Amino acid sequence: MALPEVKQTATEARLATLTMPDAGCTRAAREDALARVLEMGLPGRRDEYWKYTRPDTLISAEQPHAALFHSDEPLLFGNLDRLKIVFIDGVFSAEESDDLELEGVNIDRIEDICCKDIHWAKELYGVLEARGQSPVQRPLAALNTAFAADGVAIHVTGKPAKPISLIYRHASETSDAMLHHIIRVESGAEVTILENGPAASRFNKCIEIDIADGGTLHHVRAQGRDHERCAATHMFTRLGQESVYKSFTLTVNGVLTRNEQVIELTGDDAIAHVAGACVGDGDFHHDDTVFVTHDAVNCESRQVFKKVLRNGATGVFQGKILVKEGAQKTDGYQISQSLLLDDDSQFLAKPELEIYADDVACSHGSTSGAIDDTALFYLRSRGVSVKDATNMLTLAFLAEAVDEIEDEVLSEAIVNRLEGWLSRHI
Amino acid sequence: MLEIKNLHVKLEEEEKQILKGVDLTVEAGKVHAIMGPNGSGKSTLSYVLSGRDGYEVTEGSATLEGEDLLEMEPEERAAAGIFLAFQYPVEIPGVGNMTFLRTAVNAQRKARGEDELSAADFLKEVRAKAKSLKIDADMLKRPVNVGFSGGEKKRNEILQMAMLEPKMCILDETDSGLDVDAMKLVAEGVNALRDEGRGFLVITHYQRLLDHIKPDVVHIMADGRIVKTGGPELALEVENNGYADILAEVN
Ligand SMILES: Nc1ncnc2c1ncn2[C@@H]1O[C@H](COP(=O)(O)OP(=O)(O)OP(=O)(O)O)[C@@H](O)[C@H]1O
Ligand SMILES: [Mg+2]
């Protein structure tokens, strides 16, 4: 079917600015991905899936521009023992990174998976992304598979003693970066992946995660504070039997962010939790789009998204739980809430359930509200200032999402970040 | 200590006059009780004194040790020494009871130019005071009032009062919802704070609480005014005969 002309033109214009890396064995996956892009076209304003978020700046052929932001805050996860992998404007920096040696895990750059003949990686690159294209199209992820210039392949075979920390620095005001990581967690293995930093003026990132039976992956991400940066990210996760995936994202400012999580529970008794806390101000626009597919028995999924919006900021949540035929004893939970600190801000939510099994417990809820006056008065009547009381209630609102982080050191680091934002903004 | 003169209060949003000229003075070291029929304005008085939004003072004044309360923000009143034990304590999910208490204690100390309490000293004090109110460690860790029983909420109010050591304690029906033993605990908590420099205003419907907390003065409030003032015997009269006689007498 031919694409609408506007979409066709926009897609061609964007593609004209990109060159496919000459990356040996991923070449075929990249060509396939490009074919998907050509067939789907890049997202447009009229697409149902982009109803609440304008994709214009994410797909435009023009060079992006975002001022660099210098913060005097201490570095996130700064004191934490971790294996650092640094990307500057989307390019791996060997100089800034640690040695990629850690017991229980093998880490390689995507460009090396061919010469080293790493089979699992060749078999994963682009595969989960392609699976994730139906029933909803995600052209920006296909674009990423085709054109990502860098990224790492992380093979977890044991229980590495420290987290693997992907650090994304933003150095050029006109950087336009695409990263594609693939992660395979073997049976019984367990790893924590951290991500932080603004990455680039425009950032398109895709991670494909394959967790084998009994494997566990914890993911904690903090998206950088540069006000003018925009980002579209995708995480495609497939879970085997009794495996666990827990992901948390903090977003503090950034003019446009779209985070998609596509999760497929394919083995019985698997658990997937995704959570997000975001705080935004002014022209901030933040979109969480989640699609969870239950395709096995007795699996649990949980989505907890909280947004604090102020000064005309916009928050979007599109979350779907699809329970396939036969996925009995599914336990699906989804909540999305916003705290609007003034009348100018808005929250748009589209929660969806689609269930084809009969023995399931699924719930979803979405709310939007202001600070509770009664609670505020109660705190103030005990001597707490309006500002501190508002901060306490705001953190309390976000707590349900932050509590999804199991590691206390990590959740404290995130709470510190939030306190920093509050002290600057309220 | 607390001086209320000719206080008239209406709702901000509606033309509804609730307090219609309240006159009341609580001296330091004294316990005053207020009784009165439902809807007579007792809680409204306590809210107006502690600075809740939604009310408009149209006439009159309220001062604490000569300072104009009505000009102050709620947190300033708290630092000046006003404390209200709420008729309906508020549940605050996500805020730990302990964190809340510590923030409140230190905010008030800071406002008065005192040093903050160290974490260790604070903990020691809270534990001791909680123990005497039979509040267990688990309740201190839980979010403020969330899932507390009615009686637990009231004891938690008294714990806050004990930690904050206010000058002027206003208790709005702290006895309602308490079992006999809990009422004794609460009364002991209040009596422990009785002090020459501290005043109490105890709002209640029942004589029972006043058996344990002996008031110096009892006021009857009706239709937004104090209509009768007397000694502890006035509370007994209400307990035995209700308000009909008193109201008939003043009308
Ligand atoms: N925010 C409000 N909106 C509407 N009416 C109000 C409001 N606050 C108080 N009132 C009214 O003012 C009157 C006094 O209420 P208040 O709560 O002060 O009574 P009270 O003496 O404490 O009664 P009770 O013994 O039942 O606790 C009542 O008629 C009540 O309905
Ligand atoms: Mg009342």
Q: What HEC string does chain B produce?
A: CEEEEEEEEEECCCCCEEEEEEEEEECCCCEEEEECCCCCCHHHHHHHHHCCCCEEEEEEEEEECCEEHHHCCHHHHHHHCEEEECCCCCCEEEEEHHHHHHHHHHHHHHHCCCCCCCHHHHHHHHHHHHHHCCCCHHHHHCEECCCCCHHHHHHHHHHHHHHHCCCEEEEECCCCCCCHHHHHHHHHHHHHHCCCCCEEEEECCCHHHHHHCCCCEEEEEECCEEEEEECCHHHHHHHHHCCHHHHHHHC
Q: Residue B56: CB within 6 Å of ligand 1?
A: no
- pLDDT attached to residue A209: 98
Q: Are A297 and A324 in contact (CB under 8 A)?
A: no
- pLDDT attached to residue A226: 87
Which residue among B8, B15, B18 has the greatest number of ligand 1 atoms within 8 angstroms of its CB, and so is best to mutate?
A: B18
- pLDDT attached to residue A426: 58
Confidence category of residue A1, pLDDT binned at 50, 70, 90? low
State pLDDT tens for residues A350-398.
999 999 999 999 999 999 999 999 999 999 999 999 999 999 999 999 9
- pLDDT attached to residue A357: 96
Are B104 and A393 an interchain contact pair (Cβ–Cβ within 8 Å)? no
State pLDDT tens for residues B177-212.
888 888 888 898 889 899 999 999 999 998 888 889
Q: Would you give the end-to-end CA distance of chain B in angstroms?
A: 30
Strands across the sheet containing B67-68: B17-26, B2-11, B55-64, B67-68
- pLDDT of A23 strictly over 80: no
Percentage of chain B exceeding pLDDT 70: 100
Residue B50: closest CA among chain A residues belongs to which residue?
A: A381
The 3-class SS string of chain A reads CCCCHHHHHHHHHHHHCCCCCCCHHHHHHHHHHHHHHHHHCCCCCCCHHHCCCCCHHHHCCCCCCCCCCCCCCCCCCCCCCCEEEEEECCEECCCCCCCCEECCEEEEEHHHCCCCCCHHHHHHCCHHHHHCCCCCCCHHHHHHHHHCCECEEEEECCCCCCCEEEEEECCCCCCEEEEEEEEEECCCCEEEEEEEECCCCEEEEEEEEEECCCCEEEEEEEECCCCCCEEEEEEEEEECCCCEEEEEEEEECCCEEEEEEEEEECCCCCEEEEEEEEEEECCCEEEEEEEEEECCCCCEEEEEEEEEEECCCEEEEEEEEEECCCCCCEEEEEEEEEEECCCCCEEEEEEEEEECCCCEEEEEEEEEECCCHHHHHHHHHCCCCHHHHHHHHHHHHHHHHHCCCCCHHHHHHHHHHHHHHHHHHC
Distances, alpha carbon A57 to alpha carbons A44, A371, A377, in Å: 11, 33, 43
How far away is chain B from the Cα of A416, in angstroms, using its nearest Cα? Answer: 15
Q: Are B172 and B42 in contact (CB under 8 A)?
A: yes
Are A392 and B100 an interchain contact pair (Cβ–Cβ within 8 Å)? yes
Distances, alpha carbon B52 to alpha carbons A103, A353, B34, B57, B242, in Å: 60, 42, 20, 12, 31
Which residues in chain B are contacts of A396 at CB distance < 8 A? Answer: 92-95, 143
In whole numbers, what is the pLDDT of chain A averaged over residues?
95
Which conformational region is residue A225 in: left (phi greater than 0), alpha (psi within -120 to 50 degrees), or beta? Answer: alpha
Cα atoms in the 13 Å half-sphere on the side-chain side of A338: 23
State pLDDT tens for residues A321-348.
999 999 999 999 999 999 999 889 999 9
Q: Which residues pair with B149 in a beta bridge?
A: none
**For residues A259-288, average pLDDT:** 96
Q: Residue B156: CB within 6 Å of ligand 1?
A: no
- pLDDT attached to residue A70: 83
- pLDDT attached to residue A109: 94
CA–CA separation, B242 and A38 (whole Å): 85
Atom 8 in ligand 1: residue holding the nearest Cα: B44
- pLDDT of A181 strictly over 80: yes
Distance of CA A197 from the midpoint of ligand 2 (Å): 53
CA–CA separation, B102 and B124 (whole Å): 12
Which residues 79-118 of chain A have a CB within 8 Å of chain B? Answer: none
Atom 13 in ligand 1: residue holding the nearest Cα: B39
How far is Cα of residue A156 from the mean position of the Cα atoms in its chain? 20
Chain B positions touching chain A (beta carbons under 8 Å): 50-53, 73-75, 77-79, 83-84, 86, 89-90, 92-95, 99-100, 103-105, 107-108, 111, 143, 160, 164
Residue B84: closest CA among chain A residues belongs to which residue?
A: A381
Cα atoms in the 13 Å half-sphere on the side-chain side of B100: 33
Picking from A375, A388, A400, the nearest residue to B92 by CB comes out as A375
- pLDDT of A230 strictly over 80: yes
Measured from the Cα of B221, ligand 1's closest atom is 21
Q: Are B96 and B144 in contact (CB under 8 A)?
A: yes
> Which position has the token pair 């801000």?
A345
**For residues A102-120, average pLDDT:** 90
- pLDDT attached to residue A22: 82
Which residues 147-206 of chain A have a CB within 8 Å of chain B? Answer: none
The dihedrals phi and psi of B10, each to the nearest 5 degrees, come to -125, 165
Closest to A181 (Cα-Cα) out of A197, A198, A164: A164
In whole numbers, what is the pLDDT of chain B averaged over residues?
92
- pLDDT attached to residue B149: 87
Whether omega for the bond prior to residue A135 falls within 30 degrees of 0, making it cis, is: yes
Residue A385 near chain B (CB below 8 Å) = yes
**For residues B20-31, average pLDDT:** 94
Are A384 and B89 an interchain contact pair (Cβ–Cβ within 8 Å)? no
Q: Are B187 and B174 in contact (CB under 8 A)?
A: no
- pLDDT of B251 strictly over 80: no
Picking from A385, A386, A397, the nearest residue to B94 by CB comes out as A397
Distance of CA A17 from the midpoint of ligand 2 (Å): 70
Residue B164: closest CA among chain A residues belongs to which residue?
A: A382
Are A383 and B79 an interchain contact pair (Cβ–Cβ within 8 Å)? yes
- pLDDT attached to residue B247: 84
- pLDDT of A153 strictly over 90: yes
Picking from A383, A395, A397, the nearest residue to B108 by CB comes out as A383
Q: Residue B145: CB within 6 Å of ligand 1?
A: no
Distance of CA B19 from the midpoint of ligand 2 (Å): 13
**For residues B115-138, average pLDDT:** 88
How far away is chain B from the Cα of A303, in angstroms, using its nearest Cα? Answer: 18
Residue A415 near chain B (CB below 8 Å) = no
- pLDDT of B43 strictly over 90: yes
